Amino acid sequence: MNYDLVIKNGTIVTAAGHYQADVAVRGERIAAIGQDLQGHRELDARGKYVTPGAVDIHVHMQMPLGEGVISADDFFTGTRAAALGGTTTIIDFVEPEPEQSMVDALAARRAEADPKVVIDYGLHMTIGPAEIAKLEQVPAAYEAGCTSFKLYMAYGFRLNDGELLQALEAVRDVGGWPVIHAENWDIIQTLIARNLAAGRTEPRWHPRSRPAAMEGEAAGRAIDIAAYVGVPLHIFHVSCQAVVERIHAAREQGLPITGETCPQYLFLTWDAYDAPGVEGALPVCSPPIREQAEQDALWQALSRGHLQMITTDHCPFTRADKARGLGDFSQIPGGVPSIEMRFPAIYWRGVRSGLLSLEQWVNACCTTPARLAGLEGKGDIAIGYDADLVIFDPDQRRTLSTETLHENVDWTPYEGLEIQGWPHTVLSRGEIIVEKGDFLGEPGRGRFIHRQ
């Protein structure tokens, strides 16, 4: 039988194991896995890994922050960078205006994304304080394909504990999946005010105003409220051991609590904030990047399975935007780029060092995010799954830099980092969108994933 395309002679890596086999594609799907398969087009993957396309369920493309500041990657440049790094599915966010219905806000966000995306994407629905009066709309948002709901304990979108309770109940009642930004906002505000009043305005006071212990407190409180309500909960961007411990303790009790961390917490330390001028402002993100001991603890947590996935929280701002906060660290737009380097860099630092197995790498970057977020047909290599596939060259060396990365931003926190292992070819629903590292996809070819 002739297939449309066969990837031959590679080592297939899934969350469950790795083995030598050919993968055959018919149309948009994986049609067969076996030996000596033949296709109209054949790609030789000898000496390379064949992995599922990576899945990043936490990204912020063209996210408006107010006062004309907007995250620098739009849905085209951001998804192109994702594809070049082996990521074939993302989940971004809907943030309704106070007067807007959830479904209208979803339609508006789709209108921004649909013409630009080069890979498939989903959207989380944000439940901010204005949405507490609209919780009867949660079933309609769910029906419209937004089955996960973003809750904040910080920023303007933050919910107080009573609102958190109501939001979690509404998400529970539709069988949805809540995801949360957990930090203790009152304590952060108090520490920021104290530091600024004392003339401590430099970026190094950003992490010192957002203590790890208080991220742990907020995560623990959110977990306790979710357990009381009886709903799963996913903790976004875990930066420290204090949160890992809360998640682990909950899971030991059998609670459906999960957590993710991100490259900025795995590759950087808080010394980055000591750099002079705007350089120290560039890595500002929240939660902040912390000490080496916290970074080490996160790698250990991934290795032991105490954190379930790695996402990016990709949210780049330009140097000029970051410079707005020089003189007051609390005004620096928060967010860093990582979408292109995540999958290969985790291979390099995680797998090549022996901290993670090949299976753990694929599980944390592809399979678990797809499964938990309800991305059917994504994140695994199995018959009937979408042919979202990466031919990954473990020998290819790359120096990360604004010269070699494709994110639409004039800096990277990983400038000069030399890694080994990079996607050679990337398929999205059977179409080759990256070949020998060159991007071939078209804007608008990606699809909104209507999750169920």
3-state secondary structure of 435: strand
Beta strands 418-428; 389-399: pairing state: antiparallel
Residue 315 CB, shortest distance to ligand DUC, in Å, is 4
- Least spacing, CB of residue 43 vs ligand DUC, in Å: 37
List the one residue from 217, 313, 388, 393 that touches Zn ion (CB under 5 A): 313
**Spacing of C-alpha 94 from chain mean position:** 15
Phi, psi of 174 (to 5 degrees): -100, 0
Beta bridge pairs of residue 160: none
Contacts with ligand DUC by CB under 6 A lie at 60, 181, 285-286, 313, 315, 334-335
Binds Zn ion (CB under 5 A): choice among 8, 181, 246, 424? 181
Contact 24, 382 (CB under 8 A): no
What are 205's two structure tokens? 């006071």
144 binds, among Zn ion, ligand DUC, none (CB under 5 to 8 A by kind): none
Q: For residues 225 and 25, what is the distance between their CA atoms, to the nearest angstrom? A: 45
Residue with tokens 């140097």: 319
CA–CA separation, 14 and 35 (whole Å)? 17
What's the rounded Cα separation, in Å, for the pair 87 and 423?
10
Q: CB under 5 to 8 A by kind: which of ligand DUC, Zn ion, none does 346 bind?
A: none
- Based on CB atoms, which residue is closest to ligand DUC, 42 or 279? 279
Q: How far is the CB of 301 from ligand DUC (least distance, A)?
A: 20
Picked from Zn ion, ligand DUC, none, the partner binding residue 377 (CB below 5 to 8 A depending on kind) is: none
Q: Which is nearer to ligand DUC, 3 or 411 (CB)?
A: 411
Least distance from Zn ion to the Cβ atom of residue 311, Å: 9
Nearest Cα to Cα of residue 350 among 425, 414, 298? 298
Which residue, 3 or 265, has its beta carbon nearer to ligand DUC?
265
Give yes or no for residue 260 binding Zn ion (CB under 5 A): no
Q: Quote the CA–CA distance of 380 and 23 in Å, as a whole number.
A: 12
- Using the structure block, give the residue that is written with the tokens 């292109």: 340
Residue 380 binds which entry of Zn ion, ligand DUC, none, CB below 5-8 Å type-dependent = none
Smallest gap from Cβ 167 to Zn ion, in A, equals 16
- Decide whether 329 or 392 has the Cβ nearer to Zn ion: 329
In the bound state with ligand DUC, the residue whose beta carbon lies nearer, of 282 and 419, is 282
Helices (H), 1-131: 75-84, 102-113
Q: Fill in the DSSP letter of residue 334.
A: P
Residue 202 binds which of Zn ion, ligand DUC, none (CB < 5-8 A, kind-dependent):
none
We find the least distance from the C-beta atom of residue 195 to ligand DUC, in angstroms, to be 18
Nearer to ligand DUC, 118 or 282 (CB): 282
From the list Zn ion, ligand DUC, none, pick the one residue 210 interacts with, judged by a Cβ distance below 5 to 8 Å according to partner type: none
CB of 181 to ligand DUC, least distance (A): 5
List CB contacts of 325: < 8 A, sequence separation 6 or more: 203, 281, 284, 331, 332, 333
Smallest separation, CB 104 to ligand DUC (Å): 23
**Contact at 8 Å (CB) between 341 and 56?**
no
Binds 335: which of ligand DUC, Zn ion, none (CB < 5-8 Å by kind): ligand DUC
Tokens of 291: 């000490």
3-class SS of residue 143:
helix
Q: Which residue is nearest to Zn ion (CB)?
A: 181
Contacts with Zn ion by CB under 5 A lie at 181, 313
